């Protein structure tokens, strides 16, 4: 379950504390600081979890990039092999055709 962050920059900037006889109300300030602390803890937990996930995803991407490069090399090699095979097959067919034509002329 996702935790809700209670504060934003506007709330922090515009927070007004009421004053008591000797200044701000300590209970109100403590309550507000507890809220800030709670939000920062949520932020830190979320940030840490996100950084961990990001590291895992980056590792997966790096592995996939390496795999893609290997597959590109393999594809290039297969294309060369296919081209060589087609050349040899065409050459063999031409020789057979030539041989058949010579035998028919005899």
Residues 69-95 have pLDDT tens digits of 999 999 999 999 988 888 878 778 788
**Who has greater pLDDT, 33 or 70?**
70
The residue ranges of DSSP E strands in 21-98, in sequence order, are 23-24
Domain ranges of the chain: 22-105
pTM of the predicted structure, to 2 decimals? 0.49
Q: How confident is the model at residue 17 (pLDDT cuts 50, 70, 90)?
A: confident
Model pLDDT, residue 1: 67
- Mean pLDDT, the chain, rounded, equals 85
Confidence class for position 39, pLDDT limits 50, 70, 90: confident
Beta-carbon contacts of residue 4 (< 8 Å; ≥ 6 apart): 42
Which whole-number Å values give the CA distances from 37 to 24, 26, 40, 43, in the listed order? Answer: 19, 16, 5, 10
């Amino acid at each position: 379950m996702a935790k809700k962050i209670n504060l934003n920059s506007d709330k922090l900037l515009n927070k007004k504390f009421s004053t008591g006889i000797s200044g701000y109300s300590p209970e109100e300030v403590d309550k507000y600081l507890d809220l800030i602390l709670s939000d920062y803890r949520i932020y830190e937990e979320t940030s840490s979890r996100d950084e961990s996930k990001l590291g895992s995803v980056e590792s997966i991407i790096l592995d996939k990039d390496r795999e893609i490069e290997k597959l590109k090399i393999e594809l290039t090699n297969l294309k060369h092999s296919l081209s060589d095979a087609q050349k040899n097959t065409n050459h063999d067919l031409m020789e057979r055709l030539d041989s058949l034509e010579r035998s028919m002329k005899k």
